[in-house]
Amino acid sequence: MTEPLHDVRLSVNGVVHQVAVPARRLLSDALRHDLRLTGTHVGCEHGVCGSCTVLVDGRPMRSCLMLAVSASDYEITTVEGLADEDGSLGPVQQAFKECHGLQCGFCTPGFLTTITAGLEENPSPTAEEAREMIAGNLCRCTGYQNIVASVLRAAELKAPQP
C-alpha cells in the first residue's frame, strides 16, 4: 500500500517550496529529507531535547512536534536562515564561535534559533535570564557555561553601537 501524499507549501528562510508528503511527515523530517536542509537536527523526536527547534513566524517551536501538512501557513526560519545576508555569521552564531559555545555541535542549531528569538524578546538578559532562555534545550558536551556566555555576548553584538 502506498500512502497518499499531500501537496504542501513550505516557506523556509524566505524561499517557497512545494513538496508532496504523507500526512505523518514531521516538519523536522520534511526540512531534512524533502528540502535537504539538514542544519535542523533531530535528537529525541518527542519535544524534550530542543535540537530541532525552528522559528515559526519568528517564535521558537519544536519542528518534531509539528506535522509538515500543518505548517503551510507559516514563515519558517531554520539555522540556515540565521546567517547575515552576505553569508557571514549572524550575531548569535558569532557569539557561539567566540565563546566556544559548542563542542560536538549536535544541539547547536536548536540553541541558535531559540536564542535568536529569545534576544528579540529580551535584548539584554542577565546571566540568570540567559539560563532561563535556554532551559528547554539540552547540551551533553558543554555544561552550559559557555552557552550562557554566548547568550550574553550575542546580546552585546546585537546591541546598537553607541
Partner 1 sequence: MKPAPFEFVRPASLAEALEVLAANPDAKVLAGGQSLIPLLSMRLAAPGMLVDINGIGELSYVRSDREGVRVGALARHAEVEGDARAREVQPLLGLALRQVAHPTIRNRGTTVGSVVHADGSAEIPVVLALLNGRVAVASSSGRRDIAAADLFLGPMESSLKHDEIAVEAFFPAIEHDAGVAFDEVARRNGDYALCGVAAHVRVSGGRIVSVRTGYLSVCDVPTVVDLTAAFPDGVVTPAALDDAGDLAVAALDPVSDIHASAVYRCRLVRTLTRRVVVAAHEHAMSRVGAEVS
Q: Is 148 in the site for partner 1 (CB under 8 A)?
A: no
Lookup: cell for 98: 567566540
Three-state SS for 62?
Answer: strand
Q: Is 75 in the site for partner 1 (CB under 8 A)?
A: no
Lookup: cell for 92: 548569535
Determine the interface stretch with partner 1 among 49-57, 81-89, 91-99, 142-150 (rule: CB under 8 A): 49-57
Q: Is 46 in the site for partner 1 (CB under 8 A)?
A: yes
- x/- track of binding to partner 1 for residues 95-134 (CB under 8 A): -------------------x-----------------x--
Q: Where are the beta strands (DSSP E) in 58-107?
A: 59-62, 75-77
Task: Determine whether 39 is exposed, middle or buried from the number of CB atoms within 10 Å of its CB (0-12, 13-18, 19+).
Answer: middle
Which is nearer to partner 1, 50 or 89 (by Cβ)?
50
